[in-house]
Structure 1
Amino acid sequence: MSERRPSVSSRRSSIQIESKDSQGIVVQTGASSADDTDSHGKGRPGIAAFRRFSRRTSIMGFPRSILRNKPKLENTYRMNPEGSQRFNASRVEKMLQSVLSSNLDDKVYDPKTATSLAANIADMAKHQAKIMGYERHKIVTHVVIGNITNQGIEICSRCLWDARNDDHASAFYKNSSLFAVATAYGVYFE
């Protein structure tokens, strides 16, 4: 009677079946996909290379080692921002106003490009806020762009935060074709 027991070899995606013949000799059957042979016996070196490469890269295409090697910083155990590190809402509001006016002065509302324009302005505002020196704040920006057609609009937000350390700034822009509201939130973190 022959015994069959499946064994999965490490680092290979194959299953080999071992059985003993009538004389007690172990016989292995089954094909290995790690051998890189297809059903016709032809080699597939591209598949193996792809598998090795995909294990070493992330979804974004960067090597995983680059994404993992962030410098480890020690905790400072500061629970409150220092005086110069506090989120200055009036300063951020002026920056938001300048970003909106510089990007939207000559623009006409187009629903096809409004989404990408709002995303670009939000990224620019976030970058400018980080340049202002808020290293210990998470910066969240939100931009709404709409068409002016004599309608009313209300924009509101709710946040759960520490009122002593966190703050927000908001700016409004309007031309003959469109309006925009930009909001930046600065949330302190350790």
Structure 2
Amino acid sequence: MVTLFRILQRHYPQFLEVLKFQLTSRSEFERLAETKPDTLTDLEQAARFLYLQRTAFGGKVDGRTFGVSLRGARFDLSKVVPLLEDVHERLSGVIIERLSYADCIKRYDRTETLFYLDPPYWACEDYYGKDVFDADDFSRLADQLKSIRGRFLLSINDTPQIRDIFAGFDVEEVSLNYTLNGNGQKKVQELIFSN
């Protein structure tokens, strides 16, 4: 993701050239999923990451499977380019960090800081990659948030364990509809915690 953001920030026209003739296909998805990122240039790595994210079911990073939408190709450059242009414009003056959540909070915690935290859902810790976040990190995060000077918003799935871990914070319940693989919607409850 950091490579994608860096490429969007510094090499946007070249990135679009790499994506120009990309089609949505299961075979291309499987080929790119099996390609080791360290064998690619930064431009190719960024294109691979974006393609896999757009075509994977549920946008998972680990354990990706090819997602099919009956509404059309999941990787449609005519729809992706406007999104990329918005991201490119937004990132033009941004600093991108690659830190653990704990180090990032520690480094940038100030009274004027607002942290938006979007950890993996409870029982889905490996969705962002193996060993990136584990069940014990929820408690560590809650403990760290108790002592920050800044403000935070944290969105997470509604489970008894999450309610218990973040019990000391303000909470708002939010009802959402998840789209399920073109087969309708599922109503779910999420929680927004804040201080």
TM range (shorter): under 0.3
Greater strand percent: which structure? 1
TM-score scaled by length of structure 1: 0.20
TM-score scaled by length of structure 2: 0.20
Choose 1 or 2 for highest CA Rg: 1
